[in-house]
């Protein structure tokens, strides 16, 4: 972890897991990043500029980092059997992967969000515009990923002006096909399942249900037995009927 240039007092960004750490965050060691607040419960899910994304895994990296329930810090995950650091043995993440604070998704974790474009620092909390959702999971338990674009001027890119999936298809052909193939394969073929695509309206329903689930139980509810969480897992029941199959057609 580098903190200064050689022979200089000019500070540089610490590197954790192969990615720079956000200015507002602190690298505690080679595996841990702390924010100004608890990453899960200390920031709002939404603000005036958009939906907040806590960047756990920057684009171009492979290490598996997650926000811990207890301390609210980002930790490099370890294999339960070997104790080794977890990471994907595949192409690096093609998107910035993270979570929406103060949400509780159907799988008992915070709601996942991916931000399109160039790499964003680990531990950055940035407002985004959600344009759709990649629907993933197994029967009875979903693992959906909100698809978002950055709206901060500092992070603006060719995706930032997009507002929905049709605009994404028109301006960046095959991006959805790339994401679908990558997310269906990154932990090994058959271990993850892409179910289809939802539009911005469905993504908003999923976000709202996840916000309500969090407020009903807080962070501690994320680790409760599934039977106790069942009354708060309302995203599936609230989904609007119009959504997209993986082939891009409405159904």
For residues 19 and 62, give the distance between their C-alpha atoms in angstroms, rounded to a whole number: 10
What does the alpha-carbon distance between residue 198 and residue 147 come to, in Å, rounded to a whole number? Answer: 10
Residue 22 to residue 15: CA distance in whole angstroms: 10
In-domain check, residue 146 = yes
Number of domains in the chain: 1
Mean pLDDT of the chain: 86
Which domain does 106 fall in, by range? 47-61+91-238
Q: Kindly state whether residue 38 falls inside one of the protein's structural domains.
A: no
Q: Per-residue pLDDT for 249 more than 90?
A: no
**pLDDT band, very low/low/confident/very high, at 229 (cuts 50, 70, 90):** very low
Rg (CA), the chain: 18
Q: What is the model's pLDDT at position 10?
A: 52
Task: Determine what percent of the chain is predicted with pLDDT higher than 70.
Answer: 82
Give the model confidence (pLDDT) of 142-182 as tens digits: 999 999 999 999 999 999 999 999 999 999 999 999 999 99
pLDDT at 230 over 60: no
CATH number of domain containing 232: 3.90.80.10
The per-residue pLDDT for range 20-76, each reduced to its tens digit, is: 999 999 999 999 999 999 999 999 999 999 999 999 999 999 999 999 999 999 999
Please list, in sequence order, all residues whose beta carbon lies within 8 angstroms of the beta carbon of residue 220, skipping any fewer than 6 positions away: 69
What is the model's pLDDT at position 242?
35
Instruction: Say if 197 falls within a structural domain.
Output: yes
Residue 233 belongs to a domain: yes
Q: Is residue 13 part of a domain?
A: no
Asked whether residue 136 is assigned to any structural domain, the reply reads: yes
- Residue 33: inside a domain, yes or no? no
On whether residue 11 sits in a domain, the answer given is no
């Amino acid at each position: 972890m580098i903190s200064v240039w050689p022979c200089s007092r000019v500070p540089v960004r610490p590197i954790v897991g192969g990615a720079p750490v956000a200015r507002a965050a602190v690298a505690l060691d080679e595996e841990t990043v702390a924010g100004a607040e608890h990453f899960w419960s200390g920031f709002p899910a939404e603000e005036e500029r958009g939906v907040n994304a806590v960047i756990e895994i920057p684009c171009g990296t492979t290490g598996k980092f997650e926000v811990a329930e207890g301390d609210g810090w980002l930790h490099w995950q370890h294999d339960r059997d070997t104790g080794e650091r977890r990471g994907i043995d595949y192409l690096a993440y093609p998107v910035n992967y993270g979570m929406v604070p103060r949400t509780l998704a159907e799988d008992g974790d915070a709601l996942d969000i991916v931000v399109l474009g160039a790499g964003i620092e680990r531990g950055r909390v940035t407002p985004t515009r959600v344009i759709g959702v990649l629907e993933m999971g197994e029967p009875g338990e979903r693992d959906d990923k909100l698809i978002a674009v950055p709206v901060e001027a500092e992070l603006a890119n060719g995706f930032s002006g997009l507002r929905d999936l049709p605009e994404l298809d028109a301006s960046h052909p095959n991006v959805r096909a790339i994401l679908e193939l990558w997310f269906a394969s990154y932990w090994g073929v058959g271990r993850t399942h892409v179910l289809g695509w939802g539009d911005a309206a469905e993504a908003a329903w999923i976000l709202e249900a996840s916000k309500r689930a969090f407020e009903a139980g807080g962070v501690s509810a994320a680790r409760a037995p599934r039977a106790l969480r069942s009354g708060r897992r309302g995203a599936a029941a609230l989904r609007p009927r119009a959504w997209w199959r993986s082939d891009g057609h409405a159904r």
